[in-house]
Structure 1
Amino acid sequence: MASAPAPTVEPDGAEEPQPLVKGTVKRLLGWIIPANFSIFVIWGAVPAVLLQLQITGIDPANKVANITIVATIGAFASMIAQPLAGMLSDRTRSRFGRRAGWMVGGVLIGGLALVGMALANTIVQIAIAWTIVQIAYNFAQGPLSAILPDRVPRAARGTFAALAGMGAMLGALGGQVIGSALSSTIPAAYMLLAGLALVVTVLFVVFNPDHSSKEQVNPPFSLGAFLRTFWVNPVANPDFFWAFTGRLLLYTGYFAVAGFQLLILADYIGLGEKGATSAIPVFGLLSLVGMIGAMVISGPLSDKVGRRKIFVFGSSVLVGIGLIVPLVMPTYEGWMIFTLVSGIGFGMFQSVDQALMSEVLPSKDSFAKDLGVINIAATLPQTLAPAVGGAIVLAFGGYAALFPVAIVLSILGAFAVWPIKAVK
């Protein structure tokens, strides 16, 4: 069997990936949107809407505490799952490549767990099923995120990151719309989401095959080395550390508010549960307008000017500014302004952040594992948002306390990317 062509090494030492097995980079660019959408729509619909409504329906008097507990358990499972999935896929030897089996297996098991949530009628059952959902879909998402450094040339990574971010945000915000629309039929919503992720992921793998990894030689496994990946070393890998920190701070700030949107609208803005559920699709679509516009412009522009940090910095500042509005204007109109401004900022961030991350990874031999660690900074805040928000609300006795915390975190996230040296 002929050996694969050697990767191209650029002047700065970074390696270009092997040529694609099938199709073109443009085809891969197109497929990443539905692939990311099919997974992130679950993160948008379930923790932000369906899970909160399901738990509220079982025990309305203790909804904040119960949501906080369930979200916390699931989030910590998610934190462990992505790096583990990345490590396993990095070391997988298969004729279908390193990632495909984990992606398909993850969405299959995750779909079964969503069916379990549809049948659950106690808080304990929901907590167990949601934890399995978190683990399984992170086993799909971790290897999927490695597609960028695995297969995309560096010159196209800003565009790819913009499209990947667009799929993710379309999913996250579209999930809120779908969750709200199907709030009266929560079991059917879970089954629809499970089926969508399974079908789209299988099609992605079929139409975008990877190089065989059967001949891959893996270094000896070290449990200690794997456990150390959860510690992002600021001395050994300062750029990786600052990129991780910036993403973690911004995501936590944004999703501490956005992920708790249903109860904020119901209780803080004063719309009530029914009014809040009806309003979420309106705000979701408004946010999408801002995000898509920012992504379409920022990603390609970042490739053109060869800079990433200024876009990440500006996006974090915009999100922080947007968060000020509902604090001083707790009205329907104030939430509309927040949604649009933060949507523009978050869209700008999504369009270039993944490209920046791909250029600060510590090792070319462990893309998925390292991206799994990086992705903790994205998925953990999204899934932990109800827990973070709930803890703040319980501690300070009101929703207004969420906004100052989120503003500070977002601004700190902006400054965290400035020390990165490997990326302009």
Structure 2
Amino acid sequence: MTAGRVEPRWIIAFCVAVVGTFVGWYGPLQILLAKQADVFSPAGKEDVLAVVALLGAAVSMVANPVWGALSDRTTSRFGRRIPWVVGGTAGGVVGLLVLAAAESTGMMIFGWCLVQLALNAPFAALSAAIPDQVPIARRGTAGGYFGLAQTIGVVAGTGLAVAGGSVVGGYLACALFVLLSAVPYMLLRKDIVITRESLPSWNWLAFLRGFWISPRTHPNFAWAWLTRFLLNLGNAIALLYLLFYLKDAVGVADPDGGVLILTVLYSITLLISVMIGGSWSDRLGRRKVFVLWAGVIMSAASLVMAGWPTWLGAVVAAIVLGFGFGAYTSVDFALLTQVLPQAQDRARDLGVLNIANSLPQVLAPVIAAPIVRHLGGYPTLYVTSALVGLAGAILVFRIRSVH
């Protein structure tokens, strides 16, 4: 099915569902997991948070492409994406409730892995809905809305985590929001319906082979993957210990409130650049130059964190990072939809590309924990973040099929 005109009500329902998914992820990631780690192991909180984040991201890395591939083959009368949005959202709520009840690091790990497993189903399905429904010429703008919704989700998740008044209250507030967020998209029922007859016969070997997309056969896809991986790795390294950075390096009296303030400032500038960047990229028909300059700006923000460990420095870095990451988010998704090998496997292939989002979450704790504890502390951490992100921005010019 060729993507046609996009109705405003579909955009609204889509964005609300994306917001809910990111509330479920970033309420815990920004505030709640770090606070639980501090409660369960005050002396080893960095290591506990690193293990929890690593295992959850490992689950995410596998879950996203698998859910995407299964949604490509779903023949439900409700469509091939909606069942995964609804089911994954319900599972994510259960995971958040497990985290709320956790009384040990083991239960914390189980709950976070369940959240990652479940919420990757709606994320995979919603990511594929853009190339399903939106023409190529409008995908920069659609990517802007996608980035906008993600940003609102990060802010809302952080706000709900703080407003909950406690770790348990924060998780319950996030869980309720996630549950309600899928309802408009479900009720709209605008989705592609496919039949069993239109699908090739099931073959486990072919299914598994489909997750390997040869860099030699599809070099533009491979370079797009590597670019996204490096930019997200730089970002993940920078953000993993933000709460601890404010508490231990900057000396902020209320680090929870500090994270919320920085998130709001970051989000305001991101919202500006995400909409301007996407529509501007559509008008020019160019993507790569936006990715380059976005990466440069993001690296500059990390260097500010490395060399100016004060509250004012953190504020400046948040504002700069928002501009950079907003421009990158809107243009990146549009670029990626233009390097997909086959339309019928969009969700699977986007899931493979989304490994470049989740794998950095696995590697960031492995890289960040020893740096913070033994190899120079936060200045070294943020310089590393800047260099990794800059390398990803430069490599975008290896992609030949997109301007």
Q: TM-score, normalised by structure 1?
A: 0.90
Change (3 A) 1:259 1:226: farther
Change (3 A) 1:323 1:228: farther
Runs (5+) with no aligned partner, structure 2: none
Matched, 1:287 2:266: yes
| Structure 2 partner of 1:166 | 148
Which of the residues 51, 76, 81 maps onto 1:94?
76
Runs (5+) with no aligned partner, structure 1: 1-6, 8-15
Which is further off, 88-97 or 376-385? 376-385
Aligned length: 403
Code of the residue aligned with 2:343 in structure 1: it is K
Code of the residue aligned with 2:179 in structure 1: it is L
TM-aligned CA deviation for residue 195 of structure 1: 2.0
Separation in 2, partners of 1:216, 1:169: 40
* Contact 1:247–1:378 (CA under 8 A) maintained in structure 2: yes
For 1:358-373, what aligned pairs fall within 5 Å after superposition? 358-373=337-352
| Structure 1 partner of 2:109 | 127
TM-aligned CA deviation for residue 257 of structure 1: 1.1
Matched, 1:237 2:218: yes
For 1:82-161, what aligned pairs fall within 5 Å after superposition? 82-161=64-143
Matched, 1:74 2:56: yes
Matched, 1:202 2:183: yes
Change (3 A) 1:248 1:232: farther
Q: Secondary structure at the residue paired with 1:148?
A: helix
* Contact 2:82–2:189 (CA under 8 A) maintained in structure 1: no
Separation in 2, partners of 1:118, 1:254: 27
* Contact 2:18–2:146 (CA under 8 A) maintained in structure 1: yes
| Structure 2 partner of 1:337 | 316
Deviations 1:137-177 (A, max 9, x none): 00121111100111111121111110011111221243233
TM-aligned CA deviation for residue 322 of structure 1: 1.3
* Contact 1:146–1:368 (CA under 8 A) maintained in structure 2: yes
Higher percent of residues as helix: 2
Separation in 2, partners of 1:384, 1:37: 25
* Percent identity of paired positions between Structure 1 and Structure 2: 34
Aligned residues: CA RMSD = 1.9
Separation in 1, partners of 2:313, 2:246: 11
Code of the residue aligned with 1:28 in structure 2: it is W
The ranges of structure 1 where at least 4 consecutive aligned residues each deviate by more than 6 angstroms after the TM superposition are none
* Contact 1:48–1:386 (CA under 8 A) maintained in structure 2: no
Deviations 1:246-286 (A, max 9, x none): 11111110121123210111112122xx5211211211111
Change (3 A) 1:379 1:198: farther
TM-aligned CA deviation for residue 339 of structure 1: 0.6
Change (3 A) 1:252 1:230: farther
* Contact 2:307–2:379 (CA under 8 A) maintained in structure 1: no
Which of the residues 50, 55, 58 maps onto 2:32?
50
Which of the residues 1, 10, 26 maps onto 1:28?
10
TM-aligned CA deviation for residue 389 of structure 1: 2.7
Deviations 1:229-251 (A, max 9, x none): 55453211111111111111111
